[in-house]
């Protein structure tokens, strides 16, 4: 296979530098990030899986402010938002989430300080006052929560410490952008009680101009705006050296209108307006995709509250932790669905979610070669959803439901380090893990189309049990070089496409094979490479129908690929990073009907690419810190990203594709000599290209328009920061 040749060259490259690393040991100049991807602390280089981690310093330097920005810095990572749905639709190595309703689950798990957050809207919050962000690629269902067939995003916030510190910054940019952020923490009672509070506010005008006449809709706004704010408070109680209690409360709100517009298609009077008599008086949309003519005032309102308590105790041989969490998430959307100024169709979506999470862990701290992790995970979620679509000339469509999801999963992980056993110097570590999961969904939903006499209701009671596992071997041929191989089984729960009949669908499973190499050379060069093959069964795919939609379980998919990440500081002050990916993903044995072209009958989509799975991507970043003596340092930085053609529907038609594109960001940062002040000027998307991140077909009564979400255009600004 091509992946074998690709990976073979990468491994030879890594090993060719191993002798250099062994013969020239010395100071390590590269930043060493400690992660908890395997539920215990280790460095990225000693973690036997594909992981990309960013410290706060790296995120500030690269301009990574939210999950969307990870798209341009993580191999085989795809971020998108489906219109005004209030959801982050994330895929890793072609595996993600197709059911954007509350009856489905993501394929990439999202964790905040270890708490599994079941609704994809949780990933919309900015990444502020965080210690690090970890992106784990490949199935993570053994140790990291539910539904991690694609991978996991772990956001680790800064915790209270005994040292007082404070930071604040402000940003001003084009499109009227303003941002303010702060964090402050320190001791309340010496050695016993510490606290930290942080927050942000982020506002920006829309970049998709609504050209509707003000006399028609005086309250209509431009789309693509930002209006978000958040606050987080933490208390850390340490009654003794062995015990700690961490309390956290976070509130997040977002009322920004998403970057939702339409593309030109054949058979339209103008962009997004079907060739139908009822649109004859519509004001034509301009050719510029960043313009729209809508007569209905759209709105978006997402609110999330998260509360957690973590109790930790560390003994001589075992550590115990209990993580308890409760969360609420609700959002409301109002959308002008026809994207024109005649009053034709509107859409309303209400979604309320309550979730409870309880997780217990026992983590060993043995002196010998054996180590173990034992755990029990419990998740409960209640969702209420209502959807209302009205086409004033044709029909009214309403659906919704109430569902309760429960998940119980005991898990265990055991490792053996041969080098730590007496009489052995074999640099080999073997690890085995297993997880048993029972998922249950119960509830009821309805669908009503009064004009067609449709009034449906049903009860749903579904249960699935699965065993997931992993086997890992990691080997250290020389100092600072690790080779690893793994085989694992992942699982994502079945679900319900709420309000659709039938709406139930089955789980999907994956057997993943991965080999990799991680190495540092001379303390200044780091190369990590991985190759993988996935045998993907019952892939869940989303398809639009004349009324509503459905999720199909495709027969299977074959996915293979490879990734290389490079980090280097060849001379003091010069920092380089690069990543190169290749992804070969094909559907296999999938036959379905495209409701846009039903006359074509059943179509065999075997050989087509899954959604959001570009064949290749490449990025490189370079920065150099110039010393200004007593005036501090000045650091210019440039980041370049290229992505191959990407299909956003399994039919792989030209209308479903975002063509290959490239994007360049630039920054210039000044830091004071004492490190307390900094100023950063930036320009993102210098090319100012219109880049589609997601596609959501409109209603059949409107001719299935291509409604798309865009990445922001060229943005620029200035940030001023102070820290103590």
- Is 410's pLDDT higher than 90? yes
| Structure confidence at residue 699 (pLDDT) | 64
- Is 533's pLDDT higher than 80? yes
* CA–CA separation, 652 and 554 (whole Å): 15
Total domains, the chain: 1
Strands 151-157 and 108-112: parallel
Q: CA nearest 148: which of 457, 433, 365, 394?
A: 433
Provide mean pLDDT across the span 507-518.
Answer: 96
Q: Provide the β-strand partners of residue 195.
A: 186, 235
The better pLDDT of the pair 39, 242 is held by 242
* CA–CA separation, 641 and 237 (whole Å): 44
For every residue of 183-216, DSSP letters joined together read EEEEEEETTTEEEEEEEEEEEE--SBEE---TTT
* CA–CA separation, 293 and 487 (whole Å): 52
| Structure confidence at residue 174 (pLDDT) | 98
Confidence of residue 143 (pLDDT cuts 50, 70, 90): confident
Angle among Cα 550, 648, 91 to the nearest 5 degrees reads 90
Tokens of 632: 């501090």
| Structure confidence at residue 609 (pLDDT) | 93
| Structure confidence at residue 449 (pLDDT) | 87
- Is 15's pLDDT higher than 50? no
The better pLDDT of the pair 130, 341 is held by 130
Helix (H) or strand (E) holding 58: helix 56-62
Report pLDDT digits (tens) over 431-452.
999 999 999 999 998 888 888 8
Provide mean pLDDT across the span 32-57.
Answer: 88
Provide mean pLDDT across the span 331-356.
Answer: 88
SS3 459: strand
* CA–CA separation, 405 and 625 (whole Å): 51
Q: CA nearest 103: which of 468, 473, 551, 541?
A: 551
Q: Which of 82-86, 102-106, 343-347, 373-377 ranks highest by mean pLDDT?
A: 373-377
SS3 20: helix
| Structure confidence at residue 546 (pLDDT) | 58
Strands 115-116 and 108-112: antiparallel
Instruction: Please enumerate in sequence order all residues whose Cβ is within 8 A of that of 717, keeping only pairs 6 or more positions apart, or say none.
Output: 171, 172, 173, 174, 177, 681, 682
Report pLDDT digits (tens) over 194-237.
999 999 999 999 999 999 988 889 999 999 999 999 999 999 99
Which string of b and e fits 601-616 if b means at least 16 CB within 10 Å? eeeebeebbbbbbbbb
Find the length of the chain.
724
Provide mean pLDDT across the span 146-152.
Answer: 87
* CA–CA separation, 123 and 223 (whole Å): 20
| Structure confidence at residue 66 (pLDDT) | 94
Angle among Cα 84, 89, 91 to the nearest 5 degrees reads 160
* CA–CA separation, 91 and 612 (whole Å): 7
- Is 271's pLDDT higher than 90? no
The better pLDDT of the pair 178, 452 is held by 178
Q: CA nearest 79: which of 691, 697, 683, 583?
A: 691
Q: Which of 94-103, 280-289, 414-423, 619-628 ranks highest by mean pLDDT?
A: 619-628
| Structure confidence at residue 470 (pLDDT) | 95
Rg for the chain, CA atoms, rounded: 26
Q: Which of 150-159, 270-279, 347-356 has the lowest mean pLDDT?
A: 270-279
Burial of 450 (C-beta count, 10 Å sphere; 0-12/13-18/19+): exposed
- Is 246's pLDDT higher than 50? yes
Provide mean pLDDT across the span 470-485.
Answer: 96
* CA–CA separation, 639 and 137 (whole Å): 22
* CA–CA separation, 51 and 42 (whole Å): 12
| Structure confidence at residue 701 (pLDDT) | 61
State which residues form the domain around 111: 2-723
Provide mean pLDDT across the span 61-73.
Answer: 96
Q: Which of 94-103, 148-157, 455-464 has the lowest mean pLDDT?
A: 94-103
* CA–CA separation, 523 and 546 (whole Å): 60
- Is 25's pLDDT higher than 60? no
* CA–CA separation, 212 and 62 (whole Å): 38
Confidence of residue 545 (pLDDT cuts 50, 70, 90): low
- Is 11's pLDDT higher than 60? no
Integer CA distances (angstroms), 108 to 182, 228, 285, 547, in order: 29, 24, 37, 29
Evaluated on CA atoms 652, 653, 657, 660, the torsion sign reads positive
- Is 500's pLDDT higher than 80? no
pTM above 0.85, yes or no: yes
- Is 28's pLDDT higher than 70? no
Report pLDDT digits (tens) over 81-118.
876 667 888 999 999 887 777 777 888 999 999 999 98
For all residues of the chain together, what is the average pLDDT?
A: 89
| Structure confidence at residue 7 (pLDDT) | 47
Share of residues in the chain with pLDDT > 70 (%): 92
| Structure confidence at residue 573 (pLDDT) | 94
Integer CA distances (angstroms), 448 to 393, 403, 457, 524, in order: 17, 18, 9, 64
CATH code where residue 554 lies: 2.40.170.20
Q: CA nearest 380: which of 414, 405, 349?
A: 405
| Structure confidence at residue 341 (pLDDT) | 84
| Structure confidence at residue 85 (pLDDT) | 67
Integer CA distances (angstroms), 147 to 106, 115, 467, 491, in order: 6, 14, 12, 6
Confidence of residue 20 (pLDDT cuts 50, 70, 90): very low
């Amino acid at each position: 296979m091509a992946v074998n040749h690709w990976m073979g060259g990468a491994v030879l490259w890594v090993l060719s530098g191993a002798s250099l690393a062994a013969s020239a040991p010395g100071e390590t100049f590269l930043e060493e990030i400690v992660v908890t991807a395997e539920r215990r602390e280790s460095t990225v280089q000693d973690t036997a899986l594909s992981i990309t981690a960013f410290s706060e310093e790296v995120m500030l330097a690269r301009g990574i402010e939210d999950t969307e920005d990870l798209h341009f810095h993580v191999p085989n990572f795809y971020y998108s938002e489906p219109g005004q749905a209030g959801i982050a639709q994330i895929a890793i190595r072609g595996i993600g989430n197709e059911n954007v309703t509350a009856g489905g689950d993501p394929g990439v798990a999202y964790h905040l300080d270890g708490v599994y957050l079941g609704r994809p809207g949780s990933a919309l919050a900015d990444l502020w006052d965080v210690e690090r962000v970890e992106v784990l690629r490949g199935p993570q269902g053994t140790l990291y929560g539910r539904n991690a067939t694609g991978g996991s995003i772990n956001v680790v916030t800064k915790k209270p410490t005994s040292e007082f510190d404070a930071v604040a910054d402000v940003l001003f940019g084009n499109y009227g952008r303003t941002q303010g952020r702060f964090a402050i923490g320190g001791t309340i009672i010496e050695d016993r009680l510490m606290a930290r509070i942080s927050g942000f506010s982020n506002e920006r005008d829309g970049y998709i101009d609504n050209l509707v006449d003000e006399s028609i809709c005086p309250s209509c706004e431009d789309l693509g705006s930002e209006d978000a704010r958040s606050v987080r408070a933490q208390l850390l109680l340490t009654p003794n050296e062995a015990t700690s209690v961490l309390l956290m409360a976070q509130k997040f709100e977002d009322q920004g209108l998403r970057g939702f517009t339409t593309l030109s298609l054949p058979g339209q009077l103008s962009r997004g307006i079907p060739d139908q008599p009822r649109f004859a008086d519509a004001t034509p949309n301009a050719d510029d995709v960043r313009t729209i003519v809508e007569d209905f005032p759209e709105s978006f309102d997402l609110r999330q509250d998260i509360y957690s308590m973590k109790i930790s105790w560390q003994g001589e041989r075992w550590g115990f932790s209990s993580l308890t969490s409760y969360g609420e998430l609700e959002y409301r959307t109002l959308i002008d669905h026809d994207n024109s100024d005649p009053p034709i169709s509107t859409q309303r979506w209400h979604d309320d979610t309550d979730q409870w999470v309880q997780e217990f862990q026992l983590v060993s701290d043995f002196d010998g070669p054996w180590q173990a992790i034992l755990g029990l995970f419990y998740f409960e979620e209640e969702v209420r959803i209502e959807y209302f679509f009205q086409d004033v000339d044709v029909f009214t469509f309403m659906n919704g439901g109430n569902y309760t999801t429960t998940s119980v999963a005991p898990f265990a992980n055991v490792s053996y380090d041969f080098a730590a056993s007496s009489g052995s110097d074999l640099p080999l570590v073997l690890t085995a893990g297993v997880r048993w999961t029972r998922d249950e969904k119960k509830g009821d939903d309805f669908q009503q189309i009064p004009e067609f006499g449709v009034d449906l209701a049903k009860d749903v009671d579904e249960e699935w049990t699965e065993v997931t596992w992993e086997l890992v071997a990691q080997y250290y041929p020389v100092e600072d070089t690790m080779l690893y191989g793994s085989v694992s089984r992942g699982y994502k729960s079945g679900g319900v496409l709420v309000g659709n009949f039938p709406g139930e669908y089955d789980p999907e499973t994956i057997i993943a094979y991965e080999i990799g190499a991680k190495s540092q050379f001379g303390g200044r060069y780091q190369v990590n490479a991985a190759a993988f093959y996935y045998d993907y069964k019952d892939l869940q795919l989303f398809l639009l129908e004349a009324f509503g939609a459905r999720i199909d379980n495709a027969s299977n998919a074959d996915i293979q690929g490879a990734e290389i990440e490079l980090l280097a500081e060849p001379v003091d002050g010069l920092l380089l990073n690069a990543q190169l990916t290749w992804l070969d993903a094909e559907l296999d044995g999938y036959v379905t009907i495209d409701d846009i072209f039903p006359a074509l009958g059943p179509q065999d989509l075997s050989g087509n690419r899954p959604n959001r799975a570009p064949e290749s991507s490449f990025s490189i970043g370079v920065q150099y810190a110039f010393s200004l003596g007593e005036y501090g340092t000045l650091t210019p930085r440039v980041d370049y990203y290229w992505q191959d053609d990407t299909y956003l529907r399994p039919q792989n038609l030209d209308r479903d594709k975002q063509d290959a594109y490239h994007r360049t960001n630039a920054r210039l940062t000044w830091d004071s000599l004492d490190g307390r002040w900094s100023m950063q000027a930036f320009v993102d998307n210098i090319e100012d290209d219109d880049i589609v991140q997601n596609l959501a077909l409109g209603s059949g009564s409107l001719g299935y328009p291509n409604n798309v979400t865009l990445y922001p255009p060229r943005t620029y600004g200035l940030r001023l920061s102070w820290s103590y």
